[in-house]
Amino acid sequence: MHELSLAIEIGRLAEERLGASVARCVTVGVEVGADSGVEPSALEFCLEAVLSYPPWTGAKPAITRPGGDALQLTYLEVEDDDSPND
């Protein structure tokens, strides 16, 4: 069940990138290659668990399945407050 280790590492990488914006993150995009040796549904389950704890406020994992053995954090979606002028 190494998907939990991977989910924790994905959370760490994302926190490193987002800093204080982590609480406003809504989507964590992850690529899980077909030959990566990772079970996507298990990883999704573990990611949901990791993202349900502070500083996360329930961001959702979005897993895509390209070919090859890639396993990477591809993108993060963050909700920004609109400026009063918008």
Contact residues for other proteins (CB under 8 A)? Answer: 1-2, 5-6, 9-10, 12-14, 17-18, 26-27, 29-30, 37-38, 70-82
Nearest Cα neighbor of 68 from 16, 31, 28, 41 is: 31
Q: Measured from the CB of residue 59, what is the shortest distance to other proteins in angstroms?
A: 11
Torsion angle in degrees (nearest 10) through CA of 50, 52, 58, 61: 30
- Rounded CA gap, 23 and 69, in Å? 30
CB of 52 to other proteins, least distance (A): 19
Q: Which is nearer to other proteins, 16 or 52 (CB)?
A: 16
